[in-house]
Amino acid sequence: MAGRKISPNLALDQLVAQRIAAGESIVHLGFGESRLPVFAPLRRALTEGADRNAYGPVVGDPDTRDAVAGYFSRRRLPTEADQVIIAPGSKPLLMALQLVVGGDTLVAAPSWVTYAPQARLAGKTVLGVPIPESCGGVPDPAALRETVRAARVLGHDPRILVLTSPDNPTGTHAPDELVRELCAIAEEEDLLIVSDEIYRDILHTPGTDLLSPAEIAPRRTVVLTGLSKNLALGGWRIGAARFPTGGWGERIRADVASVASEIWSTLAGPMQSVARYAFAEPPEIRERLTADAALHGAVAGAVHRIMVDAGATCRPPTGAFYVYPDFAPLREPLAEQGITDGASLQHHLLEELGVAVLSGHHFGDRPEALRFRAATSMLYGDTPEQQRQTQTAADPLAVPHVADALVRIEQALAKLPR
Amino acid sequence: MAGRKISPNLALDQLVAQRIAAGESIVHLGFGESRLPVFAPLRRALTEGADRNAYGPVVGDPDTRDAVAGYFSRRRLPTEADQVIIAPGSKPLLMALQLVVGGDTLVAAPSWVTYAPQARLAGKTVLGVPIPESCGGVPDPAALRETVRAARVLGHDPRILVLTSPDNPTGTHAPDELVRELCAIAEEEDLLIVSDEIYRDILHTPGTDLLSPAEIAPRRTVVLTGLSKNLALGGWRIGAARFPTGGWGERIRADVASVASEIWSTLAGPMQSVARYAFAEPPEIRERLTADAALHGAVAGAVHRIMVDAGATCRPPTGAFYVYPDFAPLREPLAEQGITDGASLQHHLLEELGVAVLSGHHFGDRPEALRFRAATSMLYGDTPEQQRQTQTAADPLAVPHVADALVRIEQALAKLPR
């Protein structure tokens, strides 16, 4: 078990933060954090919860779970409080699911850097399935069927299918038809769907409708969410899970609660106060979510254009705050400079061009692919003041520090050999 | 993996809280929580940390780790910040240790309800070793040697030795000589010592000196601590670990950081602000620790007397806030009422006598033993006002709601058959 490494996303952030602190000039697109200030009412909710020093229920206080149930119910997923577990982030809930559900785990390739290590930590085999042309976060249906069957022939036992929409790293969301098709496969193959919807509130086009697998396959879908992305509270560690009704779902929820009681006890009381306030979505929270989603869309769109102009192919981002360019069209000129895979492209961008991104192989993509994730939410500013300026600007792309960063990225990528 | 249960300590607390809320009159001694209000400066530190919404380093911010290093250094354990990992409670750190260190786990029997389930969750065999006459939290040395050797003959691979001082459930601390003897065995048998010192600041007699295994076996001892017990912040989930210097310790720390990055990311930013303040131990914190330790000692001592008067044998408590009586002297009259083991004694006390305690078998004690843990810190009051009154009283035993509760326990236990 020796030689473990820190999750690459967090490790890169620590490294870049140290180098910037030491005086280096780096455009940091390497970390999946929404760099926005704490919304004032959330700070108030934290302070108001400061007297909550008792442990309380493992799954979360009833009033907090009730707020989370309301959040899901307003998204066409009717939910009772006793279907919910609240935790210090959705990450430990995902880990607990890997621990309590038997069999092996199917993930999209690429997908969030943590799914696969968690599954391996739980003793599972990870089966990566390529994503379709249309979007990331979900496997291509034909490839999924093939992977499931081939895995069974090899003695594996695929039982969990992880879907993410909108997704990390491609910043896209799955169209309804694709969700329906994947749910049908899950039914046929008896898979539990783990639907990571932590970016759900960050859809760039107002009025876009997202179809959750829990609407199509309610008895076999666990939904994850949290406040890290939509309300920029990554460092506050607040997550929640919604479990299916019915025997299977109830058993999984009870098992996750058991694991929770042995690993993390409960979400901190003051954070439950924050969760109760935020998941209830009073008007000021709804406005915040809408405004921030538009901001994320504007900046992701600008970075997308830069990548395409630099010669990459790249899915147009529709959600979250990522773009995932593919520099395959430049493979030959890049190879002449010794850039032959994702790792060498990441290295070249950081060391030669001063742009920090995370290579696709960290997300389970093919190592030789010339793909990386750029987290565009890192561009909003280095101080709360800058971030607030970006957040409140009519045109965030015109805010000087954002515009400067975009120019720097453009100029850096223009130096790639063509 | 189905049929998991919530940790019995947390499960009993939820059950009793529900029954009290429904109008039942129960003296709740069943949960290891320090029922004291949030100390005002801790609340301020939380509020001051409210702008910390970035993820930050997995192991904790350098300034927070520096404060923790100072805390240990003031306790004869010279420590650098880079030996420290901060986490949402010491519980996830203990879990991570079980995951990254190979082999099987030796625990005292009885010991805290979570050690054994965590080890099993990590795929380990749990080897329980009886405690000596003198104290709990640590195995009897002769029994430890015997267990290690017998386990190896059976094909097990004991590698981790968990020690707790002062301990849960007996509320005692290990004398220096015993600590030295156990460290010598750990050296001989090449065991990693996990020294859970979360109750370290709660020694009842002022000036009592506690010897940490990390002083005797520095290269093979990981020390755990937290703010849940000494500062009554269980529901805020703040813990820390101190790893040994040297190759082995550094490797274990790196591996724990890796697991941390995959399971919980980091301690919430505002909680790191609390940790930085509290572990730096300004004068008001030191006064608070001293005063609360005296309170815990006074009330635990009173409950100890009641247990002995009721016919039990019981180690006099010297630390933490527990007593662990043994009603073996009443085995015959109890058996006539069908009370033949720890579970039936716990049931009788709750259902017939209105006193909630946790049977010794939940701590890994022999099921037939007529032993239970009474958490005396639950007696300080049901409201912050009552708790503050208890906390500031010259004689906490004379505070009406405390005195009433003690009388109720006394009267209830007087109804046990003699």
Residue B2 within any structural domain of the chain? no
CA distance B113 to B117: 8
Residue A342 within any structural domain of the chain? yes
Which residue among A254, A282, A310 closes a domain? Answer: A282
Which residue among B230, B263, B281 closes a domain? Answer: B281
Q: Percentage of residues in chain B with pLDDT exceeding 90?
A: 96
B291 and B192, same structural domain? no
* CB pair distance less than 8 Å for B270 and A236: yes
Residue B1 within any structural domain of the chain? no
A96: nearest CA in chain B?
B263
pLDDT class of A16 with cuts at 50, 70, 90: very high
Query: Which residues of chain A neighbour B13 with C-beta distances below 8 Å?
Result: 55
Q: What angle do CA A404, A407, A409 make, to 5 degrees?
A: 110
* CB pair distance less than 8 Å for B10 and A37: no
CA distance B415 to B412: 5
CA distance B127 to A57: 30
**Residue range B20-54, pLDDT digits in tens:** 999 999 999 999 999 999 999 999 999 999 999 99
Q: Is the dihedral of CA A331, A334, A339, A343 positive or negative?
A: negative
CA distance B152 to B127: 11
CA distance B356 to B375: 9
B261 and B146, same structural domain? yes
B288 and B159, same structural domain? no
**Residue range A203-258, pLDDT digits in tens:** 999 989 899 999 999 999 999 999 999 999 999 999 999 999 999 999 999 999 99
**Residue range A155-189, pLDDT digits in tens:** 999 999 999 999 999 999 999 999 999 999 999 99
pLDDT > 80? residue A371: yes
* Number of other residues whose CB lies within 10 A of the CB of residue B277: 20
Residue A254 within any structural domain of the chain? yes
A306 and A407, same structural domain? yes
Whole-number pLDDT of residue A173: 98
pLDDT > 70? residue A1: no
A210 and A157, same structural domain? yes
**Residue range B120-165, pLDDT digits in tens:** 999 999 999 999 999 999 999 999 999 999 999 999 999 999 999 9
CATH label of the domain that carries residue A261: 3.40.640.10
Torsion, CA A378, CA A384, CA A389, CA A391, rounded to 10: 60
C-alpha distance across the termini of chain A, in Å = 43
pLDDT > 50? residue A400: yes
Q: Percentage of residues in chain A with pLDDT exceeding 70?
A: 99
A48 and A31, same structural domain? no
A278 and A293, same structural domain? no
pLDDT class of A135 with cuts at 50, 70, 90: very high
According to DSSP, the β-strands at A192-196 and A158-164 are parallel
Residue B123 within any structural domain of the chain? yes
Whole-number pLDDT of residue A6: 86
pLDDT class of B3 with cuts at 50, 70, 90: low
Whole-number pLDDT of residue A2: 41
Q: Percentage of residues in chain B with pLDDT exceeding 70?
A: 99
pLDDT > 80? residue A45: yes
A14 and A102, same structural domain? no
Domain count, chain B: 2
Residue A3 within any structural domain of the chain? no
A112: nearest CA in chain B?
B262
Closest CA to A126 of A363, A399, A359: A363
**Residue range A118-129, pLDDT digits in tens:** 999 999 999 999
**Residue range A352-361, pLDDT digits in tens:** 999 999 999 9
Closest CA to B234 of A357, A57, A401: A57
Residue A114 within any structural domain of the chain? yes
Strand partners, B126: B105
> A 193-232 residues with CB below 8 A of B?
232
Mean pLDDT estimate for chain B: 97
A296 and A166, same structural domain? no
Residue A1 within any structural domain of the chain? no
A179 and A312, same structural domain? no
CATH label of the domain that carries residue A397: 3.90.1150.10
A84 and A139, same structural domain? yes
* CB pair distance less than 8 Å for A258 and B4: yes
Interface contact B35, partner A, CB < 8 A: yes
Query: Which residues of chain A neighbour B384 with C-beta distances below 8 Å?
Result: 51
Q: What angle do CA A320, A215, A225 make, to 5 degrees?
A: 40
* CB pair distance less than 8 Å for A262 and B92: no
pLDDT > 50? residue B304: yes
Residue B87 near residue B67 (C-beta atoms within 8 A) = no
CA distance A257 to B54: 27
A325: domain range?
8-38+284-414
Interface contact B96, partner A, CB < 8 A: no
* Number of other residues whose CB lies within 10 A of the CB of residue A208: 12
* CB pair distance less than 8 Å for B88 and A88: yes
Whole-number pLDDT of residue B7: 87
B239 and B216, same structural domain? yes
CA B282 to chain centre: 24
pLDDT > 80? residue B237: yes
Which residue among A248, A282, A316 closes a domain? Answer: A282
pLDDT > 50? residue B1: no
Average pLDDT over residues A269-278: 98
